[in-house]
Structure 1
Amino acid sequence: MHNQVPRSDVLAHVGTNLRHLRKEAGLSQEALAAASGISRRMIVNLESGHANISLGSLDRLAEALDTTFLKLVSNPERESRRLEDVMWRGKSALSQATLLGAAPARQDTQLWIWSLDVGEHYKADPDPEGWHEMIFVLEGTLQLDFDTETQIVQANDFTIYSSAQNYSYTNAGNCVLRFLRSVSS
C-alpha cells in the first residue's frame, strides 16, 4: 500500500523519538503494542529504523504515548514552525505529502502541501473525534470520498470537514493535483 511514510530522515526521527517517548512513559515495547494496536514487531522495526508505517498508525502510537504526532515524527533539533519533511510518497514521483510546519493548539495544528499525479489515490485512516481538515486546491481537481458523500474541489476553491471519519483523496483531473492541507485538533 502506498499510504506509507517513505524511507528518509523522518523514519530516523520516528525511531529515535519513539524509543525516547516510550521509555519516558515507562512502557515496554509489548505494553506500547497493546496500547496502540500496533504489533511489537513493527515497534521494534520502527525503533531500529527498518520499517515504514502509515500516517494513521503513527497517530495511534502518538495517542498511546499521550503525545502528539508532531513530537513523534519531527527532528527534535528543528523548530516545528518550519519542518518541510516529506511524510508520504505515492507510486509516482510527482505524488507526495510534505509537512510544512505546525503551531500549538489543543493537540496539533499542521500545514501540509500535497501533490498527486494523475490517477493517484490516498486513503486516510480516520482521526480521533475533534480533528478537522481544511484544504485549499492550488492546481487540478481533488475528489474527496467519504462514506456517505463525494466532494469535488477545483483549483482556487476549498473545503473544511471532520477528519474523524473514513476519507480519501483522488486526483480526478488530467494534470498534477496540488493542494494545501491544514489539520487541527
Structure 2
Amino acid sequence: MGEVLEHVSANVRRLRAGAKLSQQALADAAGLSRRLIVAVEGGDANISLANLDRLATALGVDFGTLVRAPDMADNRRVDQPGWRGRHTGSQASFLGAAPARNSAELWTWALGPGDRYDALPDSEGWREMLYVIEGTLVVETAERQHRVEVGDFLIFDSAQRYSYVNTGEGLLRFLRNVVS
C-alpha cells in the first residue's frame, strides 16, 4: 500500500494547493484534524477509507482521483490496493470509478479465514452492492447479520457502521460496487 499512500500524498497536496486551501481549511472542510492532513501530505498516515472519502468530498473530487497515480488523472481504471487484512491474501483493490449522480466505485475484496473489515458509515445516500465469487460473506449491520453465499448478492445502505466477515475456513472473494 506504500505506492497508494504516495499517490494520495501527492494528490492531496496538488488538489489542496489548486483549491488555495490551507491545511487547516482542508481539515475543517473534511471534519478531520490538521495533524492528519499534515501526515497524509507527508506520506506518513495510515488513513481509513472513510476519511479518504471525506478528503475527496472536501476537495471536490471522487475517491479514485485521490488514490490513482497522478499521471493517470483522466483514466477511470485505478487498480490499486486499498486495504490489507491480518491474513495473507486478505485485501481490497479499488478497480476504478465511473460518473454517477455523485460517484460509483468498483472493488475486488478477499478475506482470509477469520478476517474482518470494520467500516465507518458512509455519507447519506451511499449504497453498496456486493457479489460473492468464492466462500460465504457475512455482512454485519446494527440491524442484522446477512449471509451471502457464492453466486448471490446483497445491496444495502452503507450510511451506517457495518463489517465484512469471513467465518469460513477458506478464502472469501467478492466484488463490491459503491454508488451514490
Query: Shorter-normalised TM-score: what interval?
Result: over 0.9
In 1, Cα distance between the equivalents of 2:97 and 2:58?
A: 21
The match for 1:3 is: none
The match for 1:110 is: 105
The match for 1:13 is: 7
In 2, Cα distance between the equivalents of 1:129 and 1:80?
A: 27
Runs of 4 or more off by more than 4 Å in structure 1?
none
Matched, 1:55 2:32: no
The match for 2:152 is: 157
- Whether contact under 8 Å (2:139, 2:145) holds in the other structure is yes
- Whether contact under 8 Å (2:50, 2:122) holds in the other structure is yes
Note the residue ranges of structure 2 that are not aligned, 5 or more in a row: none
- Report how many aligned residue pairs link the two structures: 179
The match for 1:32 is: 26
- How well do the aligned residues superpose, as a CA RMSD in angstroms? 1.3
Please give the TM-score of this superposition, normalised by the length of structure 1: 0.92
In 2, Cα distance between the equivalents of 1:9 and 1:48?
A: 13
In 2, Cα distance between the equivalents of 1:182 and 1:119?
A: 23
- Whether contact under 8 Å (2:64, 2:96) holds in the other structure is no
TM-superposed CA distance for 1:32, in Å, is 1.3
TM-superposed CA distance for 1:24, in Å, is 1.6
TM-superposed CA distance for 1:66, in Å, is 2.2
TM-superposed CA distance for 1:35, in Å, is 1.9
TM-superposed CA distance for 1:70, in Å, is 1.5
Letter in 2 for 1:25: A
User: SS at 2:78's partner residue?
Assistant: coil
Letter in 2 for 1:184: V
Matched, 1:179 2:174: yes
Matches for 1:18-167 after TM superposition, within 5 Å = 18-78=12-72, 80-167=75-162
- Whether contact under 8 Å (2:133, 2:150) holds in the other structure is yes
